[in-house]
Structure 1
Amino acid sequence: MDFSKFFDDEFNVIDWLNQAFRLQKESNQNIDNYTGTLITKLQMYIQEMNNSIEETSQQAVQQFPRVLREIDVLRHEATLLQEQMRTVRGDIQKVNQDTADGMRNLIQLDSVKNRIQSASKALQEADNWVTLSAQIEDTFESKDTVQIATKLIAMQQSLKILTDVPDYADRVNRLELLKNRLEALISPAVVVAFNTQDVEMARSFAQVFQSMDRAQQLEDLYVTSVKTRLDARIKEIIDSTNGEHESIFIAIYDYLLNVWQDEIRWSTKIFNHPNRVTLSIILNGLKIFHSKYKNQFNTELQRQQTISSKNRLDILIACKRVSYRKVKKRKRKRKLKVPS
């Protein structure tokens, strides 16, 4: 007989009895004997379960005081842990507060240090300005352009710190006058470097002008120096074409294109804005050509009064046609250079 069915959650006594008597029929045992045996087994099983329950109860009763003691110990330890956590939390809050106060003090000290350094630097620069200002005239008399430039750059740096002094505007004006004197002093040497295409010398002058915030003035000086060369060459081209207007335009456009290519290469080595410099040179060339060609064209018209209006118009149309072809050709070349 399977007594394990009693442990099933869905135990049904009727099903169990039916199963038990079904086994009796299959074994052909006497029903009274089978029933008596089954009852005896059930009683023995009940007795065994009672003994087990009693034994378990005795063990539980014996262990209950120890469990209570352990519960008391755990409760005490939990109380101690709670107190320790409260203490640690207080310590953490104190550390955070102390850290915050310390950081505020550090920030304040750093701010004070920076102010002291700024004040010290301002005093040093003020003293430096006075010293340099007293020395600059002697340096100009020596005509040592390198030393002059060095002192002017140092004075310029000092002025950047002394923006709040009462005589700041006067100092700025004095520095600009000194820069003008230096520029006038070195301009001849700069022009020589430009005319001889001396890259190293031109670069050294460019560094000086850039350090003095006068890069634009150096560019203007270079554009002016090139203008004389343009003027002479354009006049030569116009004079050499024997009044053939279409040939004049072709030669001028070819010349200015070569000038553009040469100047962009040169200016890139010297200036921070080579495109601006080159464009100024080309514009000057066009202005020179316009002025000289206009004068020659008007002179020719006055000299040849017999030229009809139609012939005059034909000359202008031919010149425009040359200009159009040159521009169109230039655009086509630029498109070919664009990567696909």
Structure 2
Amino acid sequence: MDVSAFSDENFDVKDWINKTFKSAEAQENRDAFVSSLVMKLQLYVQQINSAVEDTSHQVLQSLPRVMRDTELLLQEALSLHNMMQSVRQEIVKVEQDTGQSIASLERIDRIKCDLQAAREALHEADNWTVLASDLEEVFESGNIESISAKLVSMQQSLQVLVSVPDYEDRKLQLEGLKNRLEAIASPLLVQAFTTGSLDQSRVFIRVFTSIDRLAQLLKYYHKCQKGALLQQWSHLVEEQDEGVQEWLHKFYDKLLSHWHEQVKWCGQVFSNPSSMHTLVALYADVLSSLEPSPNVCIDAALKQQSDQLRFLMELKQLTKHFAGNLQVAVESAVQGKGVEKGELLLLAQSVYSPYINHISKYATYEQQQLTRVSEGIVCTKDDLMDTIQTLGLSVPKAVSGAMDAAQRCQQFTEGCGYPGLLRSLKVFFTSYLDQFKSAQRRLNQQKREQEDWNLFQMCLTLLQNIGELLLQLKQLNSDLKHYIVDAITSVNGQEENPFSQFKQLLLTDTGRKELDALISNAKEEETHLLEAVVQQVNKLCSDVHHVTFQVILAPVTLQLQQVSTAPTWCNTSTSVTSELPDFSFAPQEYITQIGQYLMTLPQHMEPFLLRDNPALAMALTVADAEYDASSSKGQTEGEGYADVLLGLVARGTCQTFCECILGIGELSPGGCKQLATDIDYLGNVLEDLGLPLSEPLAQLALLLRVNPSEYHSKSSGSAPRLVAAVRQMRNITSS
């Protein structure tokens, strides 16, 4: 029987019983199996009890021996402690007895060291004298390695003679001798660097390194390579048959080829990683020292170009391609050589330096480009309707020209020139809007005091065109903001890549501040980057809308001009009819013609306002705030705008009618009733159009019908100005 399960910490009696009774033996005869199992468990319990008793007996027998061993260990520990105390006391006594002897030994050792140092100093002083006397003969031999060996020995001697009184004089003497050696070696050194001789260069590197003049040797290398590269540039420029674009292309190829050659050559000659610092500084110096400078060459070539911006873009792309290749070459060569990012940034700045001045003038170049676009958008025609339709067709072309300018800005300035782009776009759109303003002035000149639906259609068409321009400007603003925000990463570049930090490479301090301000402004959601242009367009919308309103109201004004001077109002023949009831009076011809005209307005507005027309809706919303408010009344956009325009015409009609009535000199009783009837008729017409009669006209109709005897009492709720005017016209005595 396996009893190992009883030793488990998680032993469960129920699980053990259930598992045991799953055996085949238990299934055959449960009672016999249980009896057998109980008997086995009892036997195991007896065995365990017996084993526990035996173990307890053994422990009790061994306990006295354990106690004796413990006492012995305690006695030995106390004995060891006493011995340690005794040793410590003996050590203290030895230190006290031998302290003076050790101090004497230390003093004698210092004297010995000083004597040895003095001996070495005397030896080196004697060696310095011997070397100095022999050096002249070695200089006369011209053997550079022998001279350098002597100088190295003198240098070692000088390190020992630091404390002698004439140390500074000896140091100056050694520096003078090094200068003599450098003067002798410099022609041969220049020749070795110029010809690229590995063996000779290595010799000079060993010599200059041994005398601590490696920095001067690197300067010789820098000067030799710089002279060779500058000479190649001068030779290219002297080839008059080619232009600056070809010069730069060839010179960039030579620079890349030269870089790869020099990286390989320096790796074979210089063991010091400082050669990579020298190469990076060399290329930055060469690109900054070219004569004639690329700036001068580019400026001279620009004068011969009709499309200056395109020419500059081609040159800039050529330089950017070179910068990318140079970046790859430099990064692979200087990796792990300790070249700092500041050095690489100086190199990148020297590559792009010819374009800094032109980037600052980008707005001028772009304005020239957009002027060509503007000259290609000529919308003025002899026929005004043709002019307006051409203006509508020109809007996509003008906005497309602006988008092309944004792409040129990104390509030429790498996103750094957006402030200049916005200035040039402002000039471009201002010039473009002059054609719209001209059309508006022609509309204003052609309006007449009579019905002219063709002129009305032209006004609404021009408004629609302006609205389309506003929509396009809104989209352009959104696109420009997107471009500018995206340009943040481009102009700042990756921190570890100086060749992509275009804000540092292409802009002056003023340009960087201007760009930062623009980027901050572009992040504001409500900001319109072309705000000045939009304000001009909004003003143009208001002006065209005003002309439209005048065109619509002109026939009404023409009819109402006869009101103040009509003889009907003071005709004595109407005194008989003054006793007739109000329904006996019919509206006069002038007001019926006005009513008929107003009733025809909706059908003339239908082609424009009663259909989906986002462009016209935009223009009307800008022209008058009432159009914007109408959209919240549950009407469709077109119906709402039509109602607003009809409402404006109705108010204009009422206001003009009121002013004409106030200009009447005298009213007979019959004339009062007739005028009130005319006012009522206008009110009925407006009611049919869903519009109210103005409050002043309603008050005038009431005042005209009031009995003279009751005038003072029943006119108390009306405007004082109207009350006084009607009282005077009706010759009612003032109370």
1:323 correspondence with 2:323: no
Instruction: Give the superposition deviation at 1:278.
Output: 0.9
SS state at 1:159 partner: helix
1:296 and 1:201 map into 2 onto residues whose CA distance is 39
Match of 2:182 in 1: 183
Instruction: Compare the two structures and name the one with the higher helix fraction.
Output: 1
Match of 1:258 in 2: 257
2:266 and 2:182 map into 1 onto residues whose CA distance is 20
Match of 1:196 in 2: 195
Uncovered stretches (5+) of structure 1, i.e. residues with no partner = 1-80
Instruction: Give the superposition deviation at 1:208.
Output: 1.1
Match of 1:18 in 2: none
Seen in structure 2, the aligned counterparts of structure 1 residues 152 and 336 have a Cα distance that, compared at 3 Å, is closer
Greater relative contact order structure (CA < 8 Å, 6+ sep): 1
SS state at 1:316 partner: helix
8 Å contact from structure 1 (residues 125, 158) kept in 2 = yes
Match of 2:286 in 1: 285
1:334 and 1:144 map into 2 onto residues whose CA distance is 38
Match of 2:170 in 1: 171
2:229 and 2:99 map into 1 onto residues whose CA distance is 72
2:100 and 2:86 map into 1 onto residues whose CA distance is 21
Uncovered stretches (5+) of structure 2, i.e. residues with no partner = 1-79, 336-735
SS state at 2:233 partner: helix
2:163 and 2:276 map into 1 onto residues whose CA distance is 38
Seen in structure 2, the aligned counterparts of structure 1 residues 275 and 94 have a Cα distance that, compared at 3 Å, is same
Instruction: Give the superposition deviation at 1:88.
Output: 5.5
Q: TM-score, normalised by structure 1?
A: 0.62
Seen in structure 2, the aligned counterparts of structure 1 residues 335 and 154 have a Cα distance that, compared at 3 Å, is closer
| Greater alpha carbon shift after TM alignment, 292-301 vs 233-242 | 292-301
2:250 and 2:123 map into 1 onto residues whose CA distance is 61
2:229 and 2:328 map into 1 onto residues whose CA distance is 27
Instruction: Give the superposition deviation at 1:83.
Output: 11
Instruction: Give the superposition deviation at 1:295.
Output: 5.2
Instruction: Give the superposition deviation at 1:157.
Output: 1.6
1:333 and 1:171 map into 2 onto residues whose CA distance is 47
Instruction: Give the superposition deviation at 1:189.
Output: 2.0
Match of 2:227 in 1: 228
1:131 and 1:228 map into 2 onto residues whose CA distance is 42
- Percentage of matched positions with identical amino acids: 32
8 Å contact from structure 2 (residues 237, 247) kept in 1 = yes
Seen in structure 2, the aligned counterparts of structure 1 residues 89 and 286 have a Cα distance that, compared at 3 Å, is closer
Instruction: Give the superposition deviation at 1:92.
Output: 3.2
What letter matches 2:275 in structure 1?
P
1:115 correspondence with 2:114: yes
What letter matches 2:283 in structure 1?
I
1:165 and 1:178 map into 2 onto residues whose CA distance is 20
| Greater alpha carbon shift after TM alignment, 221-230 vs 236-245 | 236-245
8 Å contact from structure 2 (residues 124, 160) kept in 1 = yes
2:131 and 2:329 map into 1 onto residues whose CA distance is 55
Instruction: Give the superposition deviation at 1:99.
Output: 6.2
Seen in structure 2, the aligned counterparts of structure 1 residues 196 and 92 have a Cα distance that, compared at 3 Å, is same
8 Å contact from structure 2 (residues 229, 286) kept in 1 = yes
Seen in structure 2, the aligned counterparts of structure 1 residues 334 and 234 have a Cα distance that, compared at 3 Å, is closer
Seen in structure 2, the aligned counterparts of structure 1 residues 179 and 246 have a Cα distance that, compared at 3 Å, is same
1:89 and 1:164 map into 2 onto residues whose CA distance is 47
What letter matches 1:174 in structure 2?
Q
2:328 and 2:186 map into 1 onto residues whose CA distance is 41
2:118 and 2:178 map into 1 onto residues whose CA distance is 28
1:333 and 1:282 map into 2 onto residues whose CA distance is 12
1:316 and 1:224 map into 2 onto residues whose CA distance is 32
2:106 and 2:245 map into 1 onto residues whose CA distance is 77
Instruction: Give the superposition deviation at 1:128.
Output: 1.6
Instruction: Give the superposition deviation at 1:130.
Output: 1.6
Seen in structure 2, the aligned counterparts of structure 1 residues 220 and 93 have a Cα distance that, compared at 3 Å, is same
SS state at 1:289 partner: coil
SS state at 2:165 partner: coil
SS state at 2:164 partner: coil
1:125 correspondence with 2:124: yes
Match of 2:578 in 1: none
Seen in structure 2, the aligned counterparts of structure 1 residues 108 and 241 have a Cα distance that, compared at 3 Å, is farther
Instruction: Give the superposition deviation at 1:300.
Output: 5.8
What letter matches 1:265 in structure 2?
K
SS state at 1:279 partner: helix
Matches within 5 A, 1:65-214: 90-97=89-96, 103-214=102-213
| Greater alpha carbon shift after TM alignment, 174-183 vs 314-323 | 314-323
User: Which whole-Å deviations, capped at 9, do the CAs of 1:74-123 have from their partners, x for residues lacking one?
Assistant: xxxxxxx9999987655433334456555544443433332222222222
2:155 and 2:325 map into 1 onto residues whose CA distance is 49
Match of 1:219 in 2: 218
2:330 and 2:276 map into 1 onto residues whose CA distance is 16
1:252 and 1:286 map into 2 onto residues whose CA distance is 10
1:282 and 1:237 map into 2 onto residues whose CA distance is 18
8 Å contact from structure 1 (residues 227, 285) kept in 2 = yes
8 Å contact from structure 2 (residues 243, 301) kept in 1 = no
SS state at 2:246 partner: helix
8 Å contact from structure 2 (residues 192, 201) kept in 1 = yes
